[in-house]
Amino acid sequence: MSSRTARIDLPPIPPSVTVARHLVLELLRSWDAPQDREDAALLVTELVSNVVDHVQGEANLTLELEFSDAWLRIAVVDGSSIRPVVQELSHDRPRGRGMRMVQAIAERWGADEHLGGKRVWFELSPPDRGPAV
């Protein structure tokens, strides 16, 4: 199986959320990836939205995709060292459910230090395989 990668730099502004979503949908379509494209796009929307909402200043965000052996790994890199938190659901807070969705949909996810900032990533398995071991 061949592998495919893509890396795209975007400014941390609201229109980048839509751009990232469309890029993921088109790349997965062109790569003929078997994962649910809408799930991947939804999770990317959440990760990029977090950067737009929480990263201040002139920092960029980088969208990274890797497709290999039918596994898909997508990451969003930014200049903030503050890691995302899966928050408890609250009726008092209209937002803050994004990382809960990432946790529920992705096979695996995590956050790593990266050049003074962080890389938040998730993996989706092909439909016919179970979770990673």
Residue 28's CATH number = 3.30.565.10
Number of domains in the chain: 1
Question: Residue 101 falls within a domain, yes or no?
Answer: yes
**Can you list the residues of the chain whose pLDDT is less than 50?**
none
Q: Which amino acid, one-letter code, is at 50? A: N
Question: Residue 130 falls within a domain, yes or no?
Answer: no
- Domain of 93 in residue numbering reads as 4-124
Please state the length of the chain.
Answer: 133
Residue (of 124, 107, 55, 42) closest to 84 by Cα position: 55
Question: Residue 129 falls within a domain, yes or no?
Answer: no
Question: Residue 108 falls within a domain, yes or no?
Answer: yes
Question: Residue 133 falls within a domain, yes or no?
Answer: no
The Cα angle at residue 60 between residues 56 and 61, in degrees rounded to 5: 105
Residue (of 101, 98, 48) closest to 78 by Cα position: 48
Token pair of 121 as six digits: 């990533």
Q: Which amino acid, one-letter code, is at 42? A: L
Q: What does the pLDDT read at residue 57?
A: 63
Q: What are phi and psi of 21, to 5 degrees?
A: -60, -50
What is the reported pTM?
A: 0.85
Question: Residue 117 falls within a domain, yes or no?
Answer: yes
Question: Residue 90 falls within a domain, yes or no?
Answer: yes
